[in-house]
Amino acid sequence: MELLGAGGAENWSCKCSAIIRIVSQKCDVADFRRELNDDVFDNKNGGWGYNCISLVELMDPSKGFYDKGEDKVTLKTLN
């Protein structure tokens, strides 16, 4: 996640909560889910990444997240 453009303010912060999902393409495989609970972004830390799944695992059709026929991975973010 990354916050851009705080309107020139030098001191600001934003607390966020969200659910990030990698949607399974197979009915017998559960979605991958990561919850962000009250993470704080501020003028010094505007964004960071999360380790959640390797690219190899994500793109392996047998794992259920990559649809090879459609050449797609579906991501959803809920807040």
Q: Which amino acid is at 60?
A: D
**Would you state the pLDDT for residue 16?**
81
Q: Kindly state the DSSP code that residue 69 receives in the 8-state scheme.
A: T
Annotated domain spans of the chain: 13-78
Radius of gyration of the chain, Cα coordinates, nearest whole angstrom:
16
Q: What is the mean pLDDT of residues 5-33?
A: 83
CA dist., res. 32 & res. 18, Å (int):
14
Q: What is the pLDDT of residues 23-73, one digit of tens each?
A: 999 999 999 998 888 878 787 766 666 677 899 999 999 999 999 999 999
Decide: pTM greater than 0.85: no
